[in-house]
Amino acid sequence: MSSTTENTPVQEERPVIVVCNPRNGEELYRVEEPTAAEVDRVYERAHAAYVKLRKMSVGQRLDEARKLKGYLIKNRRSIAEKISAETGKSLFDALTLEVFPAVDLINYYEKHAERMLRDQKVPTPIMLFGKTSKVVYEPLGPVLIISPWNYPFNLSFLPVMCAFLAGNPVILKPSQETPLRGLLEEIIAGSGFMADAIQVVYASR
């Protein structure tokens, strides 16, 4: 008597993040963590976005940021409601401490980003007499940002926007306590923002 066995791949059970409303303990949703292969694909998309992003002028990047600002202003209440449900903050606090600072940040860089990122002349050593020196700001590539739980939108949006305006695509890993699943993706898609320049990975480690 003989027997045969089929070699079928064993699927690993994915870790799951459970997110609850801190006010009443009600479960809001669950999100599965990505596999290593899925994370690799996120990085591949980020690198492809970098190839495009590094060729864009600061003014063109600001145009993309303005799309986000317009969406934030138009949809401020619904965005604040999602933040409130997940953080336990009042709607007023979600607006004034999370959403409005994101708008103010873009307002600030609309005025100052081009000056801050333009080439800067610096003194030239005497041994290089006849030459000129300058500091040139160039994009470095995909940036990983790990954001905290207490101001999950504001403290994600600020570093994300700074990295993007400097020409770097971003992979954001929000806190597993307040990941705001789908919120940033909704803002990016709804505003028509540049594809894959900002991606979110949900994980507990």
Helix (H) or strand (E) holding 106: helix 100-117
How high is the pLDDT of residue 1? 42
Instruction: Decide if domain 36-200 falls under CATH 3.40.50.300.
Output: no
- State the average pLDDT for the chain: 92
The pTM of this model reads: 0.87
How high is the pLDDT of residue 12? 61
C-alpha to C-alpha distance for 155 and 172, rounded to whole angstroms: 11
Chain segment 7-26, per-residue pLDDT in tens: 555 456 788 999 998 988 89
Residue pair 99/153 in contact (Cβ under 8 Å)? The answer is yes
Per-domain residue ranges for the chain? 36-200
Residue pair 199/42 in contact (Cβ under 8 Å)? The answer is yes
Place of tokens 């959403």: 99
Chain segment 85-124, per-residue pLDDT in tens: 999 999 999 999 999 999 999 999 999 999 999 988 889 8
- Residue 40 confidence (pLDDT) above 90: yes
pLDDT band with cut points at 50, 70 and 90 for residue 3:
very low
